[in-house]
Amino acid sequence: MTNKRKSSGRDSESDHDSVDSSKRNLLKGASIVSVAALGTTAEKIIAQESADGTGGNTMISREALEVLTAEEAENLEAICSCLIPSDENGPGAFEARAAHYIDKSLASHNKSSRELYMVSLDAINRYAKQTRGQAFHQLINDHQISILSAVQNGEVPGCSPSASEFFNLVRNHTIDGTFCDPYYGGNQNFVGWDMLDYPGVRLSASETDVARGANLEPNHQSAYDHDTYTKMASNIAMSKQGRRGDA
């Protein structure tokens, strides 16, 4: 499955000037038009290493949803892909499974945002059908970006708590899902950390490691791959169970 990204024609010269070749600018508050400019010329390849280790391209399988409906997940996935697209610099939010992270988070630490997503994704999808004649995830990239720009500018009715506030919420969650510790469901295959040249969690650093600095090879390890973190999490869980038993 491929999705050819076309230039929307809406990006001004200043929009392009505000974006350098690295997606790290996402962390500095770039707008939807500026961020989308990062991937306007690339063909998005949705693939991962095959199970037999040969490196062949296979479709990324979609995990079971925890909170979102199938339609909500499709539209959210499209939104995340617009915010952090795949391009010549590497993979984006889709490959990082940012939407999967958001779905998981809405069942846990972001559960207070569940209704905001339910209401706002429906409003965006309804607006897409009214203005473009198709569901948001079915639209070409140009039209998706146009609609998201309207969301960012507060021009899409029905979003909660408002269109612009929901845009900021989903943008922040997309960044979280792309660059978080993979333990939380995003940053698949450490693509987000590689994008930032983050070498990974280390419990200690030798003098050689310190000297190499940014040139340190990534270890592709989650914090929870380390026994120290695993034992700590296990102890906390056991402690909580003990308190429940005493209640």
Q: What is the pLDDT of residue 112?
A: 97
- Cα–Cα distance, 102 to 105 (Å, whole number): 5
Residue 217 DSSP code = P
Structure pTM? 0.69
- Cα–Cα distance, 203 to 126 (Å, whole number): 48
Structure token pair of residue 16? 């392009």
**What residues of the chain score a pLDDT lower than 70?**
1-63, 202-205, 209-210, 212-214, 226-247
Q: Check if the beta carbon of residue 199 is closer than 8 Å to that of residue 216.
A: yes
Q: What is the pLDDT of residue 55?
A: 37
Q: What is the pLDDT of residue 53?
A: 40
Q: What is the pLDDT of residue 5?
A: 36
Which residues, listed in sequence order, are joined to residue 58 by a DSSP beta bridge?
48
Cis peptide, bond prior to residue 85, ω within 30 of zero? no
Residue 186 CB partners (closer than 8 Å, separation 6+): 96, 97, 98, 100, 101, 176, 177, 178, 179, 180, 192
